[in-house]
Chains A and B, each alone.
Chain A
Amino acid sequence: MTEQEFAIRAEALKSRLYRTARLYLGSEAYALDAVDEAIYLGLLHYKRLRQPEHFNTWLTRILINACNAELRRRKRELAVEELPETAAEAYDALPLKEAVSRLPADLRAVIILRYFQSLTLAETAEALDIPPGTVSTRQRKALSLLKLELSEEA
């Protein structure tokens, strides 16, 4: 992959990356920082990407790591606690955006990538480095908690 190709693909993906980071981190400023970080790291390492067809999931994975690092750093500051999977009523009472942000981390990651970044089930599995079956299970749980009737198909 050339730098020009990286630039074109990163430009095309950045809005989706921003949406993902925005839901992950809950703030515009943090989301911009995370996208900046992901694009910067991508720019440094794109030559190591052995299969350019996996560009989107590769850069998404970098973004998720950047978001996780940001969450670790600002854990106390954010003070948003996850709700357990058993707290179905509590999810019902929350606006969707907040309900998503309070999903357990593993469910939240799947729901954001699948239904807000529009990754396929296989791409989500690749981005999160988990089996497709696990993605499927987690999205089903998350959709159920959020009371969202969205397609579970790949």
Chain B
Amino acid sequence: MDRMEEYRLLLDELEQTPPKLESALPRARARRRRRRLSRWVAAPAGSVAAMFAVFVLLVNVATPFAMACSNIPILKGLTAAVAFSPSLKAAIEHEYVQRVVQSQTDGDVTMTVEYLIVDQKQVNVFFSLRSDRYSQLDGSGNVYTADGQQAHASLSFPQAPSDPKELRHICIDFQEEDVPDTLILDYKVWADDNTAPAAPSADSGLWADPPAEPDAVASFSFTLQFDPNFTSQGTTLALDQPFTLDGQQLKVVGLEIYPTHVRVDIQEDEANTVQLHSLSCWLEDDRGVRYDRPQGLIAHGDGGTPRVTSYRFESSYFEDARHLTLHIEGAIWQDKEEHWVTVDLTTGRTDPMPDGVTLARMDEIDGIPTLTFLAPTLANGNVFRQVVGSTYRSPDGSEYSFNMASHSIAKGENGKEIEGFFEESIPLIDYPFDQVELEILSYHTATLDAPVVLPLN
């Protein structure tokens, strides 16, 4: 058989397409529907301004915690779980706790939801995990409304307690919407001692294989119903209080006081020459009690124009506070000037990047190219920030965007922390090109001659 005959036979062979090809378009449409749903759900938590102003980790400010509740047996386990949250501690002291005992067992693991601390905007779930088989358990979850739709909420999972008998905590935070009467909490559990270490990658190229994710050893689904007396708690005060900070115009537009936290909503003037990244600030009441920023979720942007960012503080709800004053001691600004660089996704080569930013590595996670950048921290190492603008471009000029990124402490090859640096990882979802243009963001810290002091109410 000569080559030309082989060619004709090969063409004939390739003419025979598999039946599954017929449904390629319906599969694509179904996948798009799933994606739309997840993006829609993720948007409130992950909208541009939100993400990065929001998930800023503060230094672990140790809060002296008097064991005021240790003599109340029913709440004993709860006190340890809120040791670092003055607001939740105050809620417990005022018996602002909904006792719920719901227990489920899946395989070798039993999960028991024991307490809820709920108000108009936030749900704090306290639960335990027990297992005779596994000594180290951890997990992650999601929440849905009663009709099965994913709830518009940000979830945070504080680190698992060192003592497995201690209560664990999930914080479910609603930004625009109020806490509904019912939420469904789905939770998956992993056993650390059941997880084989990932084999080292044989590919030393730029595209490293991610470690395999362990299988869940148990899955649970709890329907949580909230007492309406709790979910109605909270007051909102509309304000119109302009002020100047470092030459930029800002305005306090709202004060929201809930049992679990206080929100101060600050709007930026569109004519400002820089964009507000974060404020160093605290609240004080008329008796001189100070309310700092909580750990974890400390601010949440609305992603709109003009930008409004909702800054979180510990709560004054259970104090006898008539007036609150905002003290601003510093600010970090994001420059509006755009700085675009090109990254070659096959070689890892980049244009020079500003402010000490470098491309640390490229991974492919579930088929999604993920770029990790190394960047200096701000404000004495306390503040991570968004390194890459959330809109990026392909070589043909099309624009794409990501709405989720992750930040972590930077570690060197020896596993030791690189002081003064952090890492930002961004996924290039549904991106079919080998080259990408990214915007690298620049920041500077403002030095204030004197703190700005603003009476709010």
Render A5-28 as a binary contact track against B, CB cut-off 8 A, 1 for contact: 001001100110011001100001
The DSSP consensus for interface residues of chain A is helix
Find chain B residues with CB under 8 A from A41 CB.
Answer: 430, 432
User: For this complex, into which size category does the number of interface residues on chain B fall?
Assistant: 20 to 34
The reply to whether B24 and A75 contact each other, CB–CB distance below 8 Å, is no
For residue A36, give the distance in angstroms from its CB to the closest CB of chain B: 6
CB interface residues, A 31-72, toward B, < 8 Å: 32, 35-36, 38-45, 48, 61-62, 65-66, 68-69, 72
Render B29-47 as a binary contact track against A, CB cut-off 8 A, 1 for contact: 1011001000000000000
The reply to whether B28 and A43 contact each other, CB–CB distance below 8 Å, is yes
The reply to whether A35 and B24 contact each other, CB–CB distance below 8 Å, is yes
The reply to whether A150 and B7 contact each other, CB–CB distance below 8 Å, is yes
Chain B residue with the shortest CB-CB distance to A23: B14
For residue B376, give the distance in angstroms from its CB to the closest CB of chain A: 31
Find chain A residues with CB under 8 A from B17 CB.
Answer: 15, 18-19
Cα-based distance from A15 to B21 in the complex (angstroms): 8
For residue A41, give the distance in angstroms from its CB to the closest CB of chain B: 5
Chain B residue with the shortest CB-CB distance to A58: B396
The reply to whether A40 and B32 contact each other, CB–CB distance below 8 Å, is yes
The reply to whether B24 and A116 contact each other, CB–CB distance below 8 Å, is no
Find chain A residues with CB under 8 A from B399 CB.
Answer: 48
Cα-based distance from A3 to B289 in the complex (angstroms): 60
Render A122-153 as a binary contact track against B, CB cut-off 8 A, 1 for contact: 00000001000000000000000011111000
Known A19-B14, A32-B20, A69-B367: A95·B6 in contact at CB below 8 Å: yes
The reply to whether A147 and B28 contact each other, CB–CB distance below 8 Å, is no
CB interface residues, B 3-34, toward A, < 8 Å: 3-4, 6-7, 10-11, 13-15, 17-18, 20-21, 24-25, 27-29, 31-32
The reply to whether A116 and B11 contact each other, CB–CB distance below 8 Å, is yes
**Neighbour of B6 across the interface among A15, A19, A32, A96, CB < 8 A:** A96
For residue A138, give the distance in angstroms from its CB to the closest CB of chain B: 18
Given A11-B25, A44-B35, 19 other A-B residues pairs in contact with their CB atoms under 8 A: A14-B21, A14-B24, A15-B17, A19-B15, A32-B20, A35-B21, A38-B432, A42-B28, A43-B25, A45-B398, A61-B432, A62-B432, A69-B369, A69-B432, A76-B202, A96-B7, A115-B7, A116-B11, A147-B3
**Can you offer 16 A-B residue contacts whose CB atoms are under 8 A?**
A7-B25, A10-B25, A11-B25, A14-B21, A15-B17, A22-B14, A23-B14, A32-B24, A39-B27, A48-B399, A69-B369, A76-B203, A96-B7, A97-B13, A129-B395, A149-B4
